[in-house]
Amino acid sequence: MSDALQPALPANRSYAATLANGLSALYALTVRQHLHGKRWLVISLLFSLPAALAILVRCTSSRVPPEGLEFMLAMMLMPQLLLPLVALLYASGIVDDEQEDQTITYLLLRPLPRGAIYFVKLLATVTTTVVLTLVFTAVTFAAIYIGSETPASEWLDRLVKTAGLHALAMTAYCCLFGLVSLLTKRALVVGVIYIAVIEGLLANLPFGIRLITVIYYTRLIAYRMLSYKVSTPRGEEDMAAEAWQLDVRNDPDLLLQPTTQTCVLVLLLGSVVCAVLASWICSHREFHVKTPEKV
């Protein structure tokens, strides 16, 4: 009986090696695809906007404190608009790009599980977007603080914390929009509406619906880790508490809000749930390729 089982071992090892090689090649190919073409140029321009605005403001006005610039650019503009938009542009194409390029048939003919194909492409998308996020967050902070009176050790510490928050938010957005792309053919339209209405408008209001937004949890983490108080002619002002509607007057320690650990757990578990569900959908869906007759 042991002799009968011996041939199965090399076969299993051969399949595992083929699977690993195929998935690693798919991962590398997806990363290369993300870093080429017009989409890459658009993403780079979008991510360069905060740094360009920081330089413009510093050159035209000396009354804006660096902490104020950091809050407006790194904690308002980037997480509320740029991060979800970049995630949408990349994640919505995880499957759609293959269908548009008519390369999905090649992928499906490979001896690779469909769910694994989606998961690896999602992983490559998350890797690409997170690296871009870290790089351009650092560029933004450099544009804000280099040459200012703020000690380098202080703003570098803030940079590390902010970059980590941005990476966590980007991961959640990619997993969410990857799932959306499998639920509707209008992923870009649905995504833009979600960014504008849910993340952009309702997340800024003190209503329970903001509990389903990514930015609400990242803001709570940021508020507890970083201070956004600046000195103004009217005295010290807490920009984050006012802009994010955190009601620190009645709840100064945010005891009525989710804890930092809960916020991190919600974002991570939400990302995993979206990724697993999308992978399952991908493994059970029939994909149709455009042909000259259908165009």
Distance set, CA 235 to CA 20, 167, 230, 231 (Å): 60, 33, 8, 6
Bridge partners of 228? none
Exposure b/e, 32-67, CB count within 10 A at least 16 = b: ebbeeeebeeebeebbebbbebbeebbeeeeeeebb
The CA distance from 210 to 35, in Å, is 33
pTM for this one? Answer: 0.88
Residue linked to tokens 């450099």: 142
The residues near 253 (Cβ < 8 Å, ≥ 6 apart) are none
Helix (H) or strand (E) holding 288: none
DSSP state of 210: G
- Give tens-digit pLDDT for 234-292: 767 788 888 888 878 888 888 889 999 999 999 999 999 999 999 999 887 766 555 54
Bridge partners of 231? 236
**What's residue 22's pLDDT?**
74
- Give tens-digit pLDDT for 23-49: 788 888 888 888 887 888 889 999 999
Q: Where are the alpha helices (DSSP H) in the chain?
A: 2-5, 8-34, 38-60, 66-72, 83-91, 93-100, 104-109, 114-145, 152-183, 187-193, 214-225, 239-243, 260-284
CB–CB of 94/178 below 8 Å?
yes
The CA distance from 83 to 25, in Å, is 27
**What's residue 199's pLDDT?**
92
Average pLDDT, the chain: 85
**If you compute the radius of gyration of the chain from its CA atoms, what whole number of angstroms results?**
22
Q: Which of 18-27, 48-57, 172-181 has the lowest mean pLDDT?
A: 18-27
- Give tens-digit pLDDT for 184-213: 989 999 999 999 999 988 888 877 888 899
